[in-house]
Chain A
Amino acid sequence: MNRANKGQIRIVEAFLAVLIVFSSFTLSANLTVSQNKPQREDLAIDGLNTLTKLDADGSLSNYITNRNWTSLQEAVNLALPTGASFNLTVFDEEMRQVNTAVISNGGFSNQRIYSVEYVCASRDMMFHSYIIHLDLAVAS
């Protein structure tokens, strides 16, 4: 390689370096912005609030004691904000699943899922406690 061509090669190298650095910045900037979408952090609070309200008058434990899964599903669906998808599972003290039917208002896609754990005590003569696991997501 002669001396006159040496400078040209360096300029080409520098151009390539700038191109690589710019490309990486552009890519990473876009990735960062897409991660910064507004999120419903309060969805878990809504879920907890819903279970607390249904438990305040004993409705929640009544649904579970009477194995009334349809009513439980409809009550949770009505109390949650519109557009919230949920999936609820009831466990007993030994973490065995109690609900025999799916308690949900639709499937989740690949959204971010928030989970709430709630402990509910029965109000009848025979004491039972239940652990309610509520998964929530914003419907797309």
Chain B
Amino acid sequence: MPATSIDTFFACSLMVLLVLSAMASTSKLLYPYIDYATDKNTAERYKEFSEYLLLNTGTPANWGESNQTILTSFGLARAGSDVPYELDINKVSRLNNENLFAINYAQMFSALRMPDVSFKIEIKPVFNVKINLTATYTGTNQTVYRFKVLTEKHGAPVASNLKSYTVAENYVETASACALEGEGYLNATLPNTINGVVLLVVFAESTYNDKISSFSTYSFAHNSTPPKPSGTFLKLSPLNYTLTASSVNQATTLSNAYTFTSNYNLALTQTGNSSNSVTYSIPHLADACPMLIVVTGSNSTVFFAEYAAYPQVPLQTGASFEGSEIRSDIFVYAHLVTINSAIYECNVWFGGPRE
């Protein structure tokens, strides 16, 4: 074979290789742009959905007030509000699965009218309150329980003013403290004549803005057996400023019902009584924090204190996206929302088939 033929063969082979490589590289170069554009369009679409959820009232506009209402389109905004991202206290409460009148995911899904999109909604206070019992001082007539309260947002301390209510059988005690570095101490003093489960309710208001608040509870035993988990005796369902307390079993006797906020401590008025539930009227309070409703009673000889927040937060409802990140496009949108003047954090997850 002459040298020129070998030369041409090699040159042609290299040219073919070069062209093929150029084609492969071009597709590799363009792929991120195409993929990014698709992602951006999907993200934009889901962002619009999340805003739609939080800026529209749904149909009918007052669907949160009654479980008799048939929900035809889904939205959480308060009807007649001129504040963006202001949510309805009852619509939010009906998202919580612990509420007797909660709507289920199938109802939400069909009312949102987006058959190719799954979603999850989370509403919670902007920061967290953690309560730890650090010491117990037992005296002749009374026992003092000392609690360490931490206020933090993702590990960063939050300066706040603390207010606590200690609820025992026919007994309510109030205390307050400051947690300027995100750490405060509260005492609960209980007479030794009382025995049974005690519920400590702690509210924390940001020192710099009282619209940003949070709360937590802590159950402990005082001269008695350890407390049972929340929801053992009663199911509390606040809706439309009415509390429905449903007995989990028949042998329950209710004694007192209270509503607590940072500045108010009121006894609730009973408005109805049926075979296995009691209703109470919840007052409209001006405080920019959730109301914490506590109902006390006894089951045979065991005293209990059950509680629920109104709006019923923190809550998480909707589809579970655990382990589906590989198969699906999942986007999360965080918003600050207002419910009854208080500011909360709302996260909305959307997931759909990967394009």
Interface residues of A (CB under 8 A from B): 3-4, 6-7, 10-11, 14-15, 17-18, 21-22, 25, 28-29, 32-33, 36, 42, 46, 49-50, 52-54, 56-57, 59, 70-72, 74-75, 78-79, 81-82
Residues in B whose Cβ lies below 8 Å from that of A25: 21-22, 25, 29
Q: Map CB proximity to A onto B186-224 as digits: 1 under 8 Å, 0 otherwise.
A: 000000000000000000001111011000000000000
Q: Map CB proximity to A onto B311-341 as digits: 1 under 8 Å, 0 otherwise.
A: 0000000000000000000000111101001
The A interface, classified by DSSP as helix, strand, loop or mixed, is: helix
Return B205 CB to nearest CB of chain A, in Å.
11
Segment with Cβ contacts to A, from B104-112, B114-122, B152-160, B234-242: B152-160
Given known pairs A18-B14, A75-B212, the reply for A7 and B3 (CB within 8 Å) is: yes
Find out whether the CB atom of B7 lies under 8 angstroms from the CB atom of A82.
no
- Write the chain B residue with the least CB distance to A21: B18
Interface residues of B (CB under 8 A from A): 3-4, 6-7, 10-11, 14-15, 17-18, 21-22, 25, 28-29, 32-33, 36, 47, 83-85, 126-127, 153-154, 156, 158-159, 206-209, 211-212, 288, 333-336, 338, 341, 343
Given known pairs A57-B211, A71-B209, the reply for A14 and B153 (CB within 8 Å) is: no
Q: Which 5 A-B pairs have the closest CB atoms?
A: A7-B7, A74-B208, A82-B154, A25-B25, A71-B208
Find out whether the CB atom of A36 lies under 8 angstroms from the CB atom of B36.
yes
The B interface, classified by DSSP as helix, strand, loop or mixed, is: mixed
6 residue pairs from A and B, CB less than 8 Å apart: A11-B11, A17-B18, A42-B333, A50-B336, A54-B209, A78-B212
Residues in A whose Cβ lies below 8 Å from that of B335: 49
Contact for A75 among B10, B36, B154, B209, CB less than 8 A: B209
Find out whether the CB atom of B7 lies under 8 angstroms from the CB atom of A79.
no
Find out whether the CB atom of B153 lies under 8 angstroms from the CB atom of A49.
no
Find out whether the CB atom of A11 lies under 8 angstroms from the CB atom of B32.
no
